[in-house]
Amino acid sequence: MINSTPRRFAVPIVDVSPYVLGGDPADRARVSQEIDDACREVGFIQIVGHGVAADTLDGLASAMDDFFSLKADVKRAYQADPSVNRGYAPPRSESLSLSLGIESSTRMNDFFEAFNVGAGASDFPGLDLPDTDYPENLWPVEVETFRSRVQSYVDEAARVARTLTTIFADALGLPGGYFDAFTDHSIDVLRMNNYALPEGLVVGDGDLLGMGEHTDYGIVTVLWADQVAGLQVLGADSVWHDVSPADGALLVNLGDLMARWTNERWMSTLHRVKPPVVDGTVRRRRSAAFFHDGNVDAIIATLPTCIDEETPMRYEPITVEQHIRAKLAGSRAGRSNTSATREAARVLAAQDA
């Protein structure tokens, strides 16, 4: 008799220390299989054994607290043009759902504030990279040691992201170092988020969003987050499920480019953030997402090993630059992205479920 009971949704916890500390081949094979299973079934993973020190995480959190506690006019001085993925983004200045081409009931309604830093052209001397894709950072001078505290975490998050692409290559049966040629001058961005409703505020129901439904744009995202309700992941059952990191864990999810590479063997996971409201009152919530998006000039074409008669190629080749710019034009500039039809269909199906 076939058991038709739906599998309970859960975000798997994977200990990646055999790749961080140099484990034996059997341990690494076990980890790569666990990652493959998680990427096929959920697309969100909790990783432990990542090697990021608690002091580094505490330094990131304190830097965020120090910046977001500044007065609004001071923070707004670091607001860049919407086409530049750097600096400060105030509440209600973005709508992540537009990156999927989904019109919100109220445009630019995402009620979070953010501060972005990332890899600049000066980090890759000799490559003559475009400033539009590799802009320099805006470091707030009002916050002492902000840059050093944030940069310490950026360095560690970049290491974790590259550890993950090493695991991905093994999980997909690719040669070691396969992804290196696509990521040696990767567009890497750290987005520090603060859900900016005043703590303790009593709120009612409505269309207020912490962050609208979206997929991440690039290869892989490494997420540090508070253990506060808000983050939701769309499961295979077309239901939104609450997700909170385990003690000491970093959350990992796949982006659109990895879904393209694998022909949706691995999915870019749809997620959103509801306002962190418990029993009708707002609770403070923070997160920091490190986006590992690949080289601006890399061409992402479906892996031949992920194409067969049952799963023909679903995506045409695209450059990282083309893909990222279309996504950012939706979320930050308010222009609906018309190329994300497959992801948008999944969101709309969930809304009707």
Q: Tokens at residue 319, please?
A: 């450059």
pLDDT at 197 exceeding the cut of 50: yes
- Partners of 214 in the beta sheet? 271
Higher-confidence position of 189 and 285: 189
Instruction: Please tell me the predicted confidence (pLDDT) of residue 99.
Output: 45
Q: Work out the average pLDDT over 226-246.
A: 87
Cα–Cα distance between 313 and 292 in angstroms, integer?
Answer: 24
Task: Using pLDDT thresholds of 50, 70 and 90, give the confidence band for residue 333.
Answer: very low
Task: Using pLDDT thresholds of 50, 70 and 90, give the confidence band for residue 223.
Answer: very high
Q: Work out the average pLDDT over 214-226.
A: 92
DSSP-based three-state secondary structure for 175:
coil
How many CA atoms within 13 Å lie on the side-chain side of 251? 23
Which of 58-72, 162-176, 297-311 is predicted with the least confidence, judged by mean pLDDT? 297-311
pLDDT at 35 exceeding the cut of 60: yes
Architecture of domain 13-352: Sandwich (2.60)
Which of 8-17, 24-33, 168-177, 232-241 is predicted with the least confidence, judged by mean pLDDT? 232-241
DSSP-derived pairing of the beta strands 220-225 and 13-15: unpaired
Instruction: Please tell me the predicted confidence (pLDDT) of residue 269.
Output: 84
pLDDT at 107 exceeding the cut of 60: no
pLDDT digits (tens, 9 = 90+) for 285-294: 899 999 999 9
Cα–Cα distance between 293 and 271 in angstroms, integer?
Answer: 18
User: What is residue 100's DSSP assignment?
Assistant: G
Measure CA of the first residue to CA of the last residue in the chain; give whole Å.
28
pLDDT digits (tens, 9 = 90+) for 63-80: 999 999 999 999 999 998
Q: Work out the average pLDDT over 103-121.
A: 73
CB burial string 196-235: b at 16+ within 10 A, e below? bbeeeeeeeeeebbbbbbbbbbbbbbbbbbbeebbbbbbb
What is the per-residue DSSP string for 46-68? Answer: EEE-----HHHHHHHHHHHHHHH
Q: Work out the average pLDDT over 86-108.
A: 60
DSSP-based three-state secondary structure for 192:
strand
Higher-confidence position of 296 and 101: 296
Instruction: Please tell me the predicted confidence (pLDDT) of residue 335.
Output: 47
